[in-house]
Amino acid sequence: MYLAHYGLNEPPFSITPDPRFVFLSERHRDALAHLLFGIDQGGSGGFVQLTGEVGTGKTTLCRMLLEQLPDKTRAALVLNPQLSPVELIETICEELRLDLADEAGSPRRASLKSRVDLLNAYLLDAYAQGLRVVLIIDEAQNLSIDALEQVRLLTNLETPSQKLLQIILLGQPELRAMLARDDLRQLAQRITARFHLTPLDADETGEYLRHRWRVAGGQRFPFTAGAIKRIHRHSGGVPRLINVIAERTLLAGYAHDETSLGERWVDRAAREALAPAPRRWLRGPHAFALGAVAVAAVGLLALAAALWLRSQPGPVAAAATTTTASPPPAAASIASPPAAVTTVPFLDAQTLAQRLQDSDPSVLPAWRQMLELWQLPAEDADAARAANCLAPVAADVHCARGLADLDKLARQGHPALVHLRSNDQATWALLLGIDAVNVRLRLGNDVVDTDRIAFERLWNGEYAALWRVPPALSAGLSGPLGPGASGPVVEWVGRQLRPRYLPPADGLVRFDAAMAGALRDYQRAHGLASDGVIGPETLMAMAPNEAGPHLLRVLE
């Protein structure tokens, strides 16, 4: 909503790791070089370890690494490592697109040995083809000890001359502490490259802010030199916190019609966006000494006040020696009920994860809650199929299900079901709102807030959302449409692509190569899978979202 105010094409300080906004400091370049070095080692089999504080850019570097992989490299990326050893091996197999079913279509015997044997066969075949296989585990500090040991054992998959799998561990500083344990020394000894990613310094913070501003299309940079220093001071140079504070500062400037933002606006934004620093209490003998001094001082002041009052004549001295009971509060104030509390409770990451353990794993309760928001009936006979987006919800309401990030859901603008997972417990929640810092969820029967970082740790990106079908499409929707298709849906999509993505033309719209290229451009610009196919997510992005419930954009 502030883009036009500042002359921007898109938000410059989203916390989603968009490769277009990547700013590589000297530390980030060194870290990326370490990762590439680890892959270039080929068959050495050593681990590569990259650690850094939350928000310093580890995931962004991981995505850049994936974009720069050599052609003969195959990568398995594990984003949620809170898995058992069997689940971890299955996830790696799925990332490498290995078939976990036998020829008859039934699941293989779900044992750890069968999964490792399948993976070993794939690695040997890849080696024979001259391919290099890399396993990247993000948030590796969440691996259990058993899973870490299983990761170590994967490096034993080898030929007589070289290892078959290169492993990269990305994690928070806790990962270093874990690998220093005596019972994990075998794994620690196999780490051949280590790098710790530190925050940006003050100068780099300014360069980072200007870089993202230019990428977003900004011309006149709004932050003063003093504001940049304050942003660095409040954020500690952590890129994610820089984004959060800068975003909130821009919102404040927009609300007050300001285009030049100084220290005052940054301080206000930081107070609103960041959690308050914990108070530091003195403990031990120093605390006892300070308390004794305070008690003695209060006692001396009370004694001096009493002696002074006794020395005064008249009513003042009388008041000092007469004890009077305080009058009771007025009856009206006692009878008045307290004001209704409408504050939404805030859950930290640990509490939210604990709540998931007690939640219903079925999608149906959250699905019915979403139907209530859309004022649609929920029939048990069709709810399961509709919740999995296998059937229309109503004549003019359809369902889309896929993978997304928070920015993508914010652009869609409607409440969505999100699949959350904590350890071995998964559940569906209803996403009600998103702002620069927090998200609002309906979890069971409760509405709660949590910060975006905590939410994203528990969310694998899977979502389902409803959208209202434009009248022009009410009779033409069936399945995904590719080049060569025709009909009312293709005609409608062509009109949405013109004139920005597709040149104006007379006559019928043809789904030819030109339209497929224009569709891919549209999909990339809107954070969709750029497959050139007209599917539910593309239609939902093109459809006007005025009808139906909307996500909250400012959480209070």
Write the pLDDT tens digit of every residue in 151-193: 888 888 777 777 788 888 988 888 888 887 878 888 888 887 7
What percent helix, strand, coil does the chain show, rounded to 5? Answer: 45, 15, 40
Long-range contacts of 18-26, Cβ-Cβ distance < 8 Å, separation of 24 or more: 19/60, 19/63, 19/64, 19/67, 20/215, 21/211, 21/212, 21/215, 21/216, 22/60, 22/64, 23/207, 23/208, 23/211, 23/212, 23/239, 25/200, 25/204, 25/207, 25/208
Domain boundaries, the chain: 3-18+200-273, 26-197, 345-471+543-556, 480-534
Q: Give the fold, CATH level 3, of 3-18+200-273.
A: Helicase, Ruva Protein; domain 3 (1.10.8)
Phi, psi of 71 (to 5 degrees): -60, -35
- pTM above the 0.85 mark? no
Distance CA 519, CA 441 (A): 33
Give pLDDT tens digits for 264-292.
999 988 888 775 544 433 344 444 444 44
For domain 480-534, which architecture applies?
Orthogonal Bundle (1.10)
| Percent of the chain whose pLDDT exceeds 90 | 12
Select the CATH number that applies to the domain covering 345-471+543-556 from these four: 3.20.20.70, 3.40.50.720, 3.90.70.10, 3.40.50.970: 3.90.70.10
What is the distance between the alpha carbons of residues 517 and 534, in angstroms, rounded to a whole number? 12
Helix (H) or strand (E) holding 372: helix 364-373
Which residue, among 239, 211, 209, has the nearest Cα to 224 in the 3D structure? Answer: 209
CATH architecture of 26-197: 3-Layer(aba) Sandwich (3.40)
Give CA torsion, residues 254, 257, 263, 268, to 10 deg: -60
Question: How, if at all, do strands 47-52 and 166-171 pair?
Answer: parallel
What tokens does 7 get?
Answer: 């002359």
Q: How is residue 303 written in tokens?
A: 């004694």
Question: How far, in Å, CA of 167 to CA of 156, rounded?
Answer: 12
Contact 134, 166 (CB under 8 A): yes
Looking at the DSSP bridge assignments, the partners of residue 76 are 135
3-state secondary structure 376-429: CCCCHHHHHHHHCCCCCCECCEEEEEEECCHHHHHHHCCCEEEEEEECCEEEEE
**Is residue 254 over pLDDT 60?**
yes
Note whether 147 and 167 are within 8 A (CB). no
The predicted model gives 494-516 an average pLDDT of: 81
Distance CA(270)–CA(264), nearest Å, equals: 10
The more confident residue out of 387 and 135 is 135
Chain segment 521-535, per-residue pLDDT in tens: 888 777 777 788 888
What is the DSSP code (8-state) at residue 223?
Answer: B
- For residue 232, the SS3 value is helix
Average pLDDT score over residue span 56-60:
82
**Tell me, what DSSP letter sits at residue 237?**
T
Query: Apex CA 157: angle with CA 155 and CA 162, to 5°?
Result: 85
**Average pLDDT of the segment spanning 355-370:** 84
Q: What is the CA radius of gyration of the chain?
A: 30
The token pair at 198 is 């530190």
